[in-house]
Amino acid sequence: MKAIILAGGFGSRLSEETLLKPKPMVEIGGRPMLWHIMNIYSAHGVREFIIALGYKAEVIKAYFLNFYALTNDISVDLASGETLIHDGKQPLWRIHLVDTGLHTQTGGRLKRLSPWLGDDDTFFFTYGDCVADLDITALLAHHHGHRKLATVTAVVPPARFGRLACDGDQVTDFNEKPHAGEGAINGGYFVLNRGVLDYIDGDATIWERASLERLVRDGQLMAYRHLGFWSCMDTLKEKNMLDDLWATGQAPWKIWE
């Protein structure tokens, strides 16, 4: 299965870090957030990724084009210009870096990537700024078990996020930015069937509003409840918190070796 990761937004709420790079390239422990997310999936056997690019796409392209050299020791002969990259442990990933437009909304980016899914009917989909100690295998099994079009990972977060209302695992209401109230929220880490693309009209479609709200009305959105660690990286405070967890060896989302 493939995993689609949104990496094209402006990241304006983390402007201290995103003036020169897209938010998924902000580093936690010296590695981009995008790398952390891909490792969460890879720990459960996901090896193929489709990255939806937009804002400063060239930064992400340059990182992966130079990944082999950046993550290994290098010997350089300045007299001849010869370079030797010493092999190290490398992830067995296949990565598609696809420009989905500078101002395209989240739903529109997903719709633009439909040709890259090939014959796959089921795929993963998430944002480029959230980490969790999530059991991806259990999430996928839950999705297959209910036979609906979409599964959203529901987490319990700070009150500033949007709220999900559920009846059992059935999502009955999706409010992206409520004025009050507490409860489960959209933690990203979706499992989707290709049929969700019919709920996206075009580039201006916001996945978290029009698409998910329509899926709720049709009874096609189910929740997978994740009770473990989850955090986004919307602010510098959150970025520093994640950095501290990594530096002290206490990062719960590091589920890989």
Cα gap 257→250, rounded to integer Å: 14
DSSP annotation of 33 reads H
Mean residue pLDDT across the chain: 91
Q: What is the pLDDT of residue 138?
A: 98
CB neighbours of residue 125 within 10 Å = 24
3-state secondary structure 83-104: EEEECCCCCCCEEEEEECCCCC
Q: Which of 1-5, 8-12, 58-62, 70-74 has the lowest mean pLDDT?
A: 8-12
CATH of 2-247, one of 3.90.550.10, 3.10.50.30, 3.40.50.720, 3.90.470.10: 3.90.550.10
Q: What is the reported pLDDT for 163?
A: 59
Who contacts 120 (Cβ-Cβ below 8 Å, separation ≥6)?
Answer: 1, 2, 194
Beta carbons of 13 and 19 less than 8 angstroms apart: no
pLDDT at 12: 76
Confidence of residue 170 (pLDDT cuts 50, 70, 90): confident
Task: Report the pLDDT value the prediction gives residue 211, as an integer from 0 to 100.
Answer: 97
**What digits encode the pLDDT tens for the residues 180-227?**
445 789 999 999 999 999 999 999 999 999 999 999 999 999 999 999
Q: Would you say residue 178 has pLDDT above 70?
A: no
Give the pLDDT of residue 87: 78
130, 189 contact by CB (below 8 A): yes
Nearest Cα to 189, choosing from 227, 224, 148, 235? Answer: 224
pLDDT at 183: 72
Per-residue model confidence (pLDDT) at position 180: 42
Q: The pTM is what? A: 0.88
Q: Is it the case that residue 162 has pLDDT exceeding 60?
A: no
Q: How far apart are CA 198 and CA 194, in angstroms?
A: 8
Alpha-carbon distances of 25 from 10, 28, 98, 103, rounded to whole Å: 12, 9, 16, 18
- Kindly report, residue by residue over 2-56, the tens digit of the pLDDT: 999 999 998 777 888 888 899 999 999 999 999 999 999 999 999 999 999 999 9
Predicted pLDDT at 177? 54
The pLDDT value given to residue 99: 97
State residue 181's pLDDT score. Answer: 44
